[in-house]
Amino acid sequence: MERNDIFDRLLRLETSVNQLAQEATELKSLVVEMVETNVALQLENDNLKKVLGNEDVQNDEHYSQDIATQQQTKKVKKPLPSKDNLAILYGEGFHICKGELFGKHRHGEDCLFCLNVLSD
């Protein structure tokens, strides 16, 4: 094999590696965006369910009720552990403060507004 050949192949390999690294970076930021969107939608969804008083009740306590009382209790809003959910989200690294940052990734930085929400 010619020395030039090897050098060519090495150059092409280097280009490919750089392209892959670039793609990985792009994909990483896409994933962060998607997770942010997902969290925002999840929160919105939770809030809407809360407003509709229609959320799936998935808790450990089991209530045996007939259908009539179930329909009645649908209107009675169950207290959601929403602050717990927010605390979990914050713990997972997302903003829970109101405004533009809501649902965005904190990138490891503490946010006083978020902490304020939790301490309310």
Q: Is 89 one of the binding residues for Zn ion (CB under 5 A)?
A: no
Residues 89, 43 contacting (CB under 8 angstroms):
yes
Nearest distance in Å: CB 28, Zn ion: 22
Nearest distance in Å: CB 33, Zn ion: 17
Residue number with CB closer to Zn ion (40 or 101): 101
Question: Tokens standing for 22?
Answer: 């670039």
**Contact region with Zn ion (CB under 5 A), list: 12-20, 22-30, 59-67, 96-104:** 96-104
H helix or E strand, kind and range, residue 96: none
- Neighbouring CB atoms inside 10 A of 86's CB total 19
| Binding residue for Zn ion, selected from 6, 113, 115, 116, defined by CB under 5 A | 113
Residues in the chain: 120
Q: How many positions of this chain bind Zn ion (CB under 5 A)?
A: 6
